Structure 1
Amino acid sequence: MKHFSNVVGFDDAPFARDHAGPVAVVGAVYAGLRFDGVLMGEIQKDGTDAADVLATLITESRFADHIRLILLQGIALGGFNVVDVFSLHQRTGLPVLVVSRVRPDMEAIKKALLASIPEGKKKWAVIERLGQMEEVADIFVQRVDISMEQARQVIKRFAVHSRIPEPIRAAHLIAGALANGQSRGNP
C-alpha cells in the first residue's frame, strides 16, 4: 500500500459574509508529523479559480517534488469556490482527499449553487461526480485516486490533536491568524 508521508493540507481564511473579492488560502506542508512549510495564495470568493490556484501553489513551490497527497478542508473554499478536484489531480498528478467533520447537506448545497452562485451548475457537476462523502475514522471524506483503506491510514496517521488531520488543522489556524491577527477554533 502506498504510504503518504509528505502531504499538504489547505484551508481558506475567514471572511465577512458580505465580502467580495479575494480570499486567502493557506497550505500547510508536512513531512510525516513534522510541519515543513507554508504555501499562501488567493482565490476569488465564490469564483472558479480554486483548483488552478492550488495546483500552481503546489507545482511552483520548493515542496513540489516531495508532496504526495493533497488534503482539503471541504470541497469548497472561499464560499462557493468549488475545487475541481479532478482538474487539481490531473494538473498535479497527486491524489486528493477532501475532509469534513460533519456530513454536508448536499441538497442544501445543490439548491444554493443552482439558485444564486455564478457557474453553479458546473460547480454542482464536480460535486456530483465526486459522489457522497464516506464516513471513515469519525469524519467524512471524498477522494480522488486514493483508496478507502489509504484514506483511513492517512486520517489515522495525521489526526493527532483532533479528528481533522494536522496539515488541515495547521492551515486553518494559520489562515485564521492571517485574517484576524490570531488563530481560533477548529476546522
Structure 2
Amino acid sequence: MKNKTFRQIKREIRILGIDDAPFLPHHQGEVLLVGTIFRGGSWMDGVITTHLQVDGQDATSKIISMVNKSRHRGQLGVMMLDGITFGGFNVADIKEIFEKTGVPVIAVMRKTPDFDKIKKALDNFPDGKQKWEIIQKAGPIYPVKSKETIYMQINGMEVDDALKIVKLSTTHSALPEPVRTAHLIAAGVKEGESKGRA
C-alpha cells in the first residue's frame, strides 16, 4: 500500500492515540488497551478499547480489529501508538497495521530504545526471534523537537507530515495529547486513579 499523502494537515485532523494499562511484573493473562479519538490535540471525540495477551503475539491483530470495527474508522487521518510494544513484549507490526487498516501509523517514544537490551531480553522468549524481526521492521527512528525532544517511527506517511502532526497534537506535555490521554485513561481504569506523568 502506498503512503498516504496529506495535501493539507488540518488542525482538527482525527487522531487515534493508543496505550496500554499498567500491570505488575510476571502478570499473566490479558491487559487493557485504550484508544482515544482526538481532533488534533485539543478535543476528544471518543474512546475505544480491547484486550491483548501479556507478552503475547496479538497486539497487531487486536489493534487492526479495534480500528476496523470502530464507527470512527472512516474519519481517522492517522493513529499514534505509545511505542510498538504493549503488555510487556507484545510487539505491534506498524507496517501490517497500516496495510490492513489504511490508517498511517506513528509510534512515539520519550527516548530511543536500547536495542541491545531489548534483544537480550527477547532471548528469554520462545518467540523472541519473531518479536525481534517485527521490531526491526518498524524502520528508522526520527527525533521530533517540540516541547521536548521525543522520537517516532512511522509507516504509511512521509516524515515531514508525521512531524507536523506530532507537533500539532502536542499541546499539554511532551507526548501528543491522544497518546497522553489514552495513557491516563488506561491507568485510571486499571488502578482506580492515574499516577505519574503521561
TM norm structure 2 = 0.90
| 1:168 aligns to 2:179 (yes or no) | yes
Deviations for 1:15-68, whole angstroms, at most 9, x for unmatched residues?
Answer: 000210100000011123210100111000010101111111111111111111
Change (3 A) 1:78 1:183: same
1:149: how far off? 1.0
Deviations for 1:65-104, whole angstroms, at most 9, x for unmatched residues?
Answer: 1111110001100000000111111110111100001111
Which of 69, 74, 78 is the aligned partner of 1:65? Answer: 74
In structure 2, distance between residues paired with 1:31 and 1:97: 16
Which shows bigger deviation, 15-24 or 145-154?
145-154
Say whether the 8 Å CA contact 1:80–1:117 is kept in structure 2. Answer: no
Which shows bigger deviation, 141-150 or 168-177?
141-150
Counterpart of 2:21, as a letter, is A
Alignment of 1:20-59 (within 5 A): 20-32=28-40, 33-59=42-68
| 1:19 aligns to 2:30 (yes or no) | no
Q: Percent identity?
A: 38
1:131: how far off? 2.8
Say whether the 8 Å CA contact 2:21–2:186 is kept in structure 1. Answer: yes
RMSD of equivalent CA atoms = 1.2
Cross-structure match for 2:166? 155
Say whether the 8 Å CA contact 2:93–2:138 is kept in structure 1. Answer: no
Cross-structure match for 1:181? 192
| 1:130 aligns to 2:138 (yes or no) | yes
Which of 99, 108, 116 is the aligned partner of 1:99? Answer: 108
Counterpart of 1:170, as a letter, is T
In structure 2, distance between residues paired with 1:21 and 1:154: 35
Counterpart of 2:165, as a letter, is V
In structure 1, distance between residues paired with 2:154 and 2:139: 9
| 1:144 aligns to 2:155 (yes or no) | yes
Aligned length: 186
Say whether the 8 Å CA contact 1:76–1:82 is kept in structure 2. Answer: yes
Unaligned runs of 5+ in 1: none
Query: Secondary structure at the residue paired with 1:123?
Result: helix
Query: Secondary structure at the residue paired with 1:111?
Result: helix
Runs of 4+ in 1 over 4 A off after TM superposition: none
Deviations for 1:128-163, whole angstroms, at most 9, x for unmatched residues?
Answer: 122342211210111101222112111111010111
Unaligned runs of 5+ in 2: none
Say whether the 8 Å CA contact 2:54–2:90 is kept in structure 1. Answer: yes
Counterpart of 2:191, as a letter, is N
1:186: how far off? 2.5
